[in-house]
């Protein structure tokens, strides 16, 4: 890609702070003008909710968009829900086998643990792999014999939107009989070989396919998606007023679906703009002693950029960023096990999580960043590591 970022043209005397420190994250959702034609459809139709025509169209178009990104052709089924956390809860309720524990990585956004708990299970915090930052099938397989009891399910998590080896997770489920649910909340555009193992997506404003608040479940298992749709709608079966199963109301409105259709139409361009920003970061940090998630900015991009810095230098880097008023964040803190609400949850030793989590630093990342701003952040990191 030869594209470059906008330059402010201001010219900055080196190190004198003439660059405006960038914001950490700036979500950009479809404009009012892009949504308006869809809202007029709603005005004319007077259908506002209950899996209406725009919601159905959004599910179909999302399925088609995801199918077009698969490495091998497959038919995907999609249902939408009110957020990504609920998508995980529903998928677990429908797929977990009897049991108490759900294995999940300690290194994830706390929503994963909350969803496990809300679905009626106790999270068991597993370690991650240092290269991918994810709980992999290999890590899970090694953990299984050490668990106090057989788990009801496993939730694997896409770290910051990276692709997961979905084929390997389907094979893991087939081999072990342990149901797998994938938290791909930030990875809507990174899904590949879906199989039956559901991928749970977030459509939150801070995710690639942001609609404000929303979520989706994607699977090749049509029955699972139909059951999830029923569960999200009081347990009703299609065309019936009798609840065939226990459920609740986890639906999105037609207004949310309208934003989703407008967002889908633009998401490819958004992805390309963010890839340019990601590659600008990689160029300016080229010689720094940091690690990147595999193929970040090349094969995939998401709404955050996270670098792994050498452990003993993490405080130096964050202090240098603070000194220049550059915002940064450990988006996933030091792991779910460090949150008071889950302090008592069972876990493995988490040696690699404890090594990884303090080193991962989220830098400013959004589509409005200028070349100077990226250079300013990158220089700050490089100087702190020099």
Binding site for ligand PLP (CB under 6 A): 83-85, 108-109, 111-112, 157, 183, 185-186, 202, 204, 215
List the structure tokens of 278.
Answer: 């990601």
**Residues in CB range of 141: below 8 A, 6 or more apart:** 172, 176
Nearest to 108 by CA among 157, 162, 169, 164: 157
Q: How far apart are CA 229 and CA 59, in angstroms?
A: 11
Least distance CB 17 / ligand PLP (angstroms): 33
Question: Do 80 and 251 contact (CB within 8 A), yes or no?
Answer: yes
Q: How far apart are CA 126 and CA 334, in angstroms?
A: 14
Q: Which is nearer to ligand PLP, 51 or 89 (CB)?
A: 89
Q: Which is nearer to ligand PLP, 209 or 314 (CB)?
A: 209
Q: Which is nearer to ligand PLP, 85 or 353 (CB)?
A: 85
Q: Which is nearer to ligand PLP, 251 or 382 (CB)?
A: 251
- Bridge partners (DSSP) listed for residue 157: 183
Least distance CB 294 / ligand PLP (angstroms): 17
Least distance CB 140 / ligand PLP (angstroms): 17
Q: How far apart are CA 182 and CA 176, in angstroms?
A: 16
Q: Which is nearer to ligand PLP, 94 or 381 (CB)?
A: 94
Q: What are phi and psi of 265, to 5 degrees?
A: -65, -25
Residue 263: count of CB within 10 angstroms of its CB: 24
Q: Which is nearer to ligand PLP, 300 or 376 (CB)?
A: 300
List the structure tokens of 344.
Answer: 């008592």
Q: Which is nearer to ligand PLP, 42 or 209 (CB)?
A: 209
Least distance CB 187 / ligand PLP (angstroms): 8
Integer CA distances (angstroms), 198 to 81, 88, 91, 238, in order: 14, 9, 7, 21
Give me the helices (H) in 177-253, please. 222-231
Least distance CB 373 / ligand PLP (angstroms): 24
Nearest to 187 by CA among 277, 296, 89, 73: 296
Collapsing DSSP to helix, strand or coil, 31 comes out as: coil
Q: Which is nearer to ligand PLP, 112 or 353 (CB)?
A: 112
* Chain residue at closest Cβ approach to ligand PLP: 84
**Residues in CB range of 25: below 8 A, 6 or more apart:** 206, 303, 304, 364, 365, 366
Least distance CB 108 / ligand PLP (angstroms): 5
Least distance CB 123 / ligand PLP (angstroms): 13
Q: How far apart are CA 102 and CA 95, in angstroms?
A: 12
Q: What are phi and psi of 308, to 5 degrees?
A: -100, 120
Least distance CB 199 / ligand PLP (angstroms): 12
Q: Which is nearer to ligand PLP, 19 or 139 (CB)?
A: 139
Q: Which is nearer to ligand PLP, 91 or 227 (CB)?
A: 91
According to DSSP, the β-strands at 122-126 and 101-105 are parallel
Least distance CB 195 / ligand PLP (angstroms): 20
Least distance CB 157 / ligand PLP (angstroms): 5
List the structure tokens of 57.
Answer: 């169209």
């Amino acid at each position: 890609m030869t594209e470059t970022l906008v330059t402010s043209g201001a010219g900055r005397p080196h190190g004198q702070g003439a660059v405006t420190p960038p914001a950490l994250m700036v979500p950009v959702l479809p404009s009012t003008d892009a949504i308006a034609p869809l809202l007029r459809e709603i005005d004319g139709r007077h259908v506002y909710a209950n899996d209406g025509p725009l919601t159905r169209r959004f599910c179909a178009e999302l399925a088609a968009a995801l199918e077009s990104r698969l490495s091998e052709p497959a038919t995907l089924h999609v249902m939408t829900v009110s957020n990504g956390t609920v998508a995980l809860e529903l998928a677990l309720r429908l797929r977990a086998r009897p049991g108490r524990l759900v294995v999940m990585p300690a290194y994830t956004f706390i929503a994963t643990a909350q969803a496990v708990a809300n679905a009626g299970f106790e999270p068991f915090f597993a370690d991650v792999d240092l290269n991918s930052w994810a709980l992999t099938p290999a890590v899970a397989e090694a953990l299984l014999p050490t668990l106090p009891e057989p788990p009801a399910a496993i939730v694997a998590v896409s770290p910051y939107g990276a692709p997961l080896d979905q084929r390997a997770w389907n094979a893991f489920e087939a081999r072990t009989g342990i149901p797998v649910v994938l938290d791909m909340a930030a990875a809507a555009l990174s899904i590949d070989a879906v199989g039956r193992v559901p991928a749970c997506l977030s459509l939150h404003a801070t995710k690639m396919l942001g609609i404000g608040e929303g979520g989706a479940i994607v699977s090749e298992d049509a029955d699972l998606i139909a059951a999830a749709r029923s569960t999200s709608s009081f347990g009703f079966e299609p065309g019936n007023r009798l609840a065939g199963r226990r459920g609740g109301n986890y639906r999105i409105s037609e207004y949310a679906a309208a934003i989703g259709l407008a967002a889908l139409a633009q998401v490819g361009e958004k992805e390309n703009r963010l890839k340019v920003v990601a590659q600008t970061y990689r160029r300016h940090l080229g010689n720094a002693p940091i690690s990147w998630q595999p193929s970040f900015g090349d094969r995939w991009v998401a709404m955050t950029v996270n670098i792994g810095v050498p452990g003993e230098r993490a405080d130096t880097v964050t202090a240098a960023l603070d000194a220049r008023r550059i915002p940064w964040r450990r988006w996933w803190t030091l792991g779910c096990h460090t949150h008071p609400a889950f302090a008592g949850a069972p876990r493995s030793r988490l040696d690699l999580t404890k090594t990884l989590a303090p080193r991962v630093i989220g830098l400013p990342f959004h589509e409005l960043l200028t070349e100077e701003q990226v250079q300013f952040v990158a220089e700050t990191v490089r100087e702190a590591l020099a």
